[in-house]
Amino acid sequence: MMGKFATASALTLLVLGGFSGMLAFAQTASADQTQTPTGQAPATNAQPPQSSTPSPQPSGSQESSEEEGPLPRQRKPPDFNKWSYNVGAGANVDSGATKTFVRGGGLGGTVGVARNGNKYLGLRADFMYEDLPLKQSSLLLASAQSANSYLLSFTVDPIINIPVTSNFGAYLLFGPGYFHRGGTLNSDTAVPGTACNSFYTWWNGLCPNVSLPLDGSFVHSSQNDFGYNLGAGITRKMPSGVEVYAEFRLIHGSANETTTDVRPITVGVRW
């Protein structure tokens, strides 16, 4: 009886020992599967995670992008010259009282400058010289063999430019003027103190005491007149950009109850 009990106890201990060993083996295998999955090798060269932050661009690219902003609008160049100049020469036709004593065809010339506000309007100043040759009948009235007579004028005029085509144009001008008429009688034999005639009245203005001055100053003419002038011209632009112009003017001045009337015809260039 005691032998059976001992045999049963030993068998029971053997079973319990085997069961404990199997349980320990199962726990060890489960731990190994958790650490290393079946069929996969452990990663040895793992790559570090890449940063999602973009790398900064070179400072030069940023400065270039800032410099390449919108360019300022460039001003359109004006289609006219702010300053223009003119030079011309020609002859004159007389009228009024001047025509009575002066023969036409006297030579003349002009120089001028204009300040243009735009392609249509400007202000032009001109200095002109006009020869006023006396008629033979005037020399007889003056008792002179010959004479020289001239007109100097200075005018300041608004000018209106009228473009017709790309090459042809026209203009108008008008305004006040200052005129100086002078001259000298040569080999004059007139007697001082004698009565003035119509020529001397025009030549020197009103004769003092209605007779020729005793000092003989009547042989010289010097009159300062104020008046007006108006004119018109046509222009032709040349390939060089210089314009050729032809101009006609009417000049009228008066002083001492006498007048000076000249009609200059001028051909010249302006640029």
For each of the chain's 271 residues, which pLDDT tens digit applies? 444 444 444 444 443 454 455 445 445 544 444 444 444 444 445 455 555 555 555 555 455 445 555 666 777 767 789 999 999 999 999 899 899 999 999 999 999 999 999 999 999 999 999 999 999 999 999 999 999 999 999 999 999 999 999 999 999 999 999 999 999 999 999 999 999 999 999 998 878 778 998 889 999 999 999 999 999 999 999 999 999 999 999 999 999 889 999 999 999 999 9
Does a structural domain hold residue 141? yes
Contact predicate 207/196, CB 8 Å: yes
Report the distance separating Cα 145 and Cα 263, nearest Å. 27
Does a structural domain hold residue 188? yes
Residue 164's CB is within 10 A of a number of other CB atoms, namely 10
Does a structural domain hold residue 207? yes
- Please spell the DSSP secondary structure of 30-92, one letter per residue: HHHHHHS-TT-PPPSSPPPPPP-SPPPPPHHHHHHHHHTSPPPPPPPPPSS-SEEEEEEEEEE
CATH code, domain with 162: 2.40.160.20
Does a structural domain hold residue 138? yes
Contact predicate 147/139, CB 8 Å: yes
Contact predicate 180/225, CB 8 Å: yes
Does a structural domain hold residue 93? yes
Which residue range(s) make up the domain with 158? 85-270
Does a structural domain hold residue 256? yes
Q: How many domains does the chain have?
A: 1
Does a structural domain hold residue 221? yes
Bridge partners (DSSP) of residue 268 are: 88, 245
Does a structural domain hold residue 32? no
Report the distance separating Cα 168 and Cα 114, nearest Å. 19
pTM above 0.95, yes or no: no
List of residues 6+ apart from 211 with CB closer than 8 A:
193, 194, 195, 196
Report the distance separating Cα 19 and Cα 17, nearest Å. 5
